[in-house]
Amino acid sequence: MRYFTPWIVAAALLIAGCEAGETAGVENPLVSTEGTIDWSIYHTTAEAHQLLEELEARHPELVELEKIGESIYGQDLILAKVTNRETGPHAEKPAIYVDGGLHSRELTGSQVALYWMAYLLNHYGEDPRVTELLDTRTFYIHPKFNPDGSDLVLAENVFLRSTPRPVDTNEDGIPDSDPPEDLTGNGKILQMRVPDPEGRFVRDADDPRIVRERTEEDEGPFYSLMTEGVDRNGDGIINSDGLGGIDMNRNWPRNWERWHLQGGSGDFPLSEPETHAVAHFINAHRNISLILHGHTSGGFIFRLPSAMDPGEFNENDEALVIHLSDYYTEDTGRPIVPSATDPVVRRYGTLIQWAYSDHGIVGYVPEFSPPPEDWVPDYDDKGYVDEADWHRFNDEEFGGRYFYDWEPYDHPQLGEVEIGGWWRLYWGQNPPHDLLERELETQIPWYLYMAEQTPLLEVDDPVVEPVGRGEDQERFVVEVTVRNTGFLPTNVTERGLVGADPEVDDGVAEVTDRPLAPFQVARAPLVVLDVEGGEVVDGHHRRRIEHLAGESPHSAGVSEREQTVRFEVARHAPEASFEVTVYGEKGGTVRVERRSFP
């Protein structure tokens, strides 16, 4: 297969970048001796991994890094498992999965994930709320979902939706044959201002840097605007076949659709190593009940439903989803909007829809980084923020860093044009560097709140009563009471009940009277009484109980917050003993240590 040159250049650059990161090691630490981190930096993958390793080295009892796969360019996909291991292994605690950076230019998502991890570690033992969370919950944090894509953006400012896997968008037989390019060599891909009598734009009379929509009164000259680049593949269109083309948040197995209905979906669900690795991880970690899938820009949160007809979404679950995100709006003033709004025209194959439909998990897609209108002052009290305000803010606060003056350029196809404009990667897409930390801090209260909403099981000391004596054996009743002290029910959503309760119809599978618990979307707690020197005589020693309700008023389909399981045991040996394990999946695993019969 022939690849267009930028692909090879980009790959070489990434490899060079990785080597630099590895050799940097602790010689140039990213965490200071005092534990502080410079949060005005957008970290490359090498830097993010270095940061993870430094945090692991500083907090070995709280952090364990795991390589969950490799990216398309062969970079490690590193996930941090954060919990206090002294109070139990990560897999036995209710968990939240947090990631960022699936979309290449959405760098803030990765920074929020890193910041959240550092926040938890820095506050452990200092802030009782964080201490309690790390003692009782697990955080799976995957900051660089798409390391290759974000590195290309950081190094070359490219336009790339997600994975750099080449796609032949214009059907000329050469994948990625005409991406936007940095023609002026300033390291940025900006805009071209092209003289055009029919153009929709005109220069502002007060500030010629500003290009605004033309009105009836304007006499010209007029311009068209386009992204910096040339027609590389000779199809008569500038930038006709950019880098990549797959959207990894359309690549998930639930309600996946082919390219004709869903652009960028890939050849088949989980076709990409990055999505496959995360699907595998989430599938293998049934303790996950909530997902915060960090994206960037807009300053709002996408909620469920996502890749489905919104009219068919479970009403109880929608009430829960709204309830959990209300706090974000109260705290930040930012809106929550459904990801699916149209019954026909909608997204397919999104991560949060898959996690909900196949695992009963509630997920959100926070779109960090509100537009400049939200953080640029209205200097002249017009009642709104316009581009003149942007310029004043950029000039006064940032020394003009985020705007490039229009410079003449002799374009091979368009003739004399000008190239310049806003460095939009950090002006609208992501916050300007000095405003990044404020955006990261803004997310913490809701992340903390969400972490406290998981189901959380506890088990009482078993009640053991002798119930009689046979010829050569004593009999006991062991009563085990299991309770959900958390907010969410152990099924998390009503969707989670599908598969075991014949009353819950998933609209597809015919419900049978087979024992369905292992196939339930979210499995109910399993109580296991392990007896040595005796045996359970009134049935199996492994008993699946009903799902347990939480404090949530939206615990649809379940009502009891606690259940008691009664086992009858025959003692065969004088030193007989038992232990209890409750496998609560989303509510965690709880145990009663081995003890003798009275």
- Which residues form the interface with Zn ion (CB under 5 A)? 103, 106, 295
Query: CB 168 → Zn ion: shortest distance, Å?
Result: 23
Q: How far apart are CA 436 and CA 483, in angstroms?
A: 42
- 497 phi, psi to nearest 5 deg: -80, -20
- Which is nearer to Zn ion, 167 or 549 (by Cβ)? 167
Name the residue nearer to Zn ion (CB basis): 145 or 393.
145
Which C-beta is closer to Zn ion: that of 103 or that of 203? 103
Residue (109 or 455) nearer to Zn ion, CB = 109
How open is the CA angle 79-80-85, to the nearest 5 degrees?
140
Q: Which residue is nearest to Zn ion (CB)?
A: 295
Q: How far is the CB of 260 from Zn ion (least distance, A)?
A: 22
The span from the CA of 203 to the CA of 243, in Å, is: 31
Give the dihedral sign, CA 308/309/314/320: positive
Distance CA 476, CA 464 (A): 7
Residue 295 or 475: the one with the smaller Cβ distance to Zn ion is: 295
Q: Which is nearer to Zn ion, 295 or 547 (CB)?
A: 295
Q: CA-based angle 270:309:549, to the nearest 5?
A: 85
262, amino acid identity = Q
Q: How far is the CB of 51 from Zn ion (least distance, A)?
A: 22
User: And the tokens for 539?
Assistant: 């049935």
Per the rule left: phi > 0, alpha: psi between -120 and 50, beta: everything else, 459 is beta
Let me know: does 441 contact 564? Beta carbons within 8 Å. no
How many other C-beta atoms are found inside a 10 Å radius of the C-beta of residue 125? 12
> Cβ of 493: how many Cβ atoms within 10 Å?
29
Do 528 and 561 contact (CB within 8 A), yes or no?
Answer: no
Based on CB atoms, which residue is closest to Zn ion, 145 or 597? 145
The CA-based dihedral angle spanning residues 298, 301, 305, 310, taken in that order and rounded to the nearest 10 degrees? -50
> Tokens at residue 577, please?
């003993």
Q: Compare residues 360 and 370 and give the one whose CB is closer to Zn ion.
A: 370
Structure-block tokens of residue 366: 């926070």
Distance between CA atoms of 228 and 187, rounded to whole angstroms? Answer: 12
Q: Which is nearer to Zn ion, 360 or 428 (CB)?
A: 428
Nearest approach, Cβ of residue 424 and Zn ion (Å): 15
- State the minimum distance, in angstroms, from the CB of residue 103 to Zn ion: 4
Do 455 and 443 form a contact (C-beta atoms < 8 A)?
no
Q: With respect to Zn ion, which residue has the nearer C-beta, 105 or 475?
A: 105
Q: Distance of alpha carbon 239 from its chain centroid, rounded?
A: 30
3-state secondary structure of 288: strand
Residue 294 Cβ vs Zn ion, minimum distance, rounded to whole Å: 9
Quote the least distance from Cβ 145 to Zn ion, whole Å.
10
Q: If DSSP states are collapsed to H, E and C, what string results for 516-562?
A: CHHHCCCCCCEEEEEEECEEECCCCCEEECCCCCCCCCCCCCCCCCE
Q: Phi and psi of 258, rounded to 5°?
A: -70, 170
> Distance between CA 333 and CA 301 in Å, rounded?
11
Largest pairwise CA distance in the chain: 109
* Beta strand 474-484 pairing with 457-459: antiparallel
Q: Write down the least CB distance from residue 484 to Zn ion, Å.
A: 34
Q: What is the DSSP letter of 217?
A: T
Whole-angstrom Cα distance, residue 533 to residue 243? 66
Residue whose CB is less far from Zn ion, 45 or 240: 45
Q: How far is the CB of 174 from Zn ion (least distance, A)?
A: 27
Q: Minimum distance from CB of 361 to Zn ion (Å)? A: 19
Q: Which is nearer to Zn ion, 193 or 250 (CB)?
A: 250
**Which residue, 109 or 499, is less far from Zn ion as judged by CB?**
109
User: Which residues pair with residue 408 across a beta bridge?
Assistant: 418
* Least CB distance to Zn ion at residue 584 (A): 33
Residue 100 beta carbon to Zn ion: minimum distance, rounded to whole angstroms:
10
* Residue of 592, 570, 225 whose CA lies nearest to 418: 225
Q: How far is the CB of 97 from Zn ion (least distance, A)?
A: 17
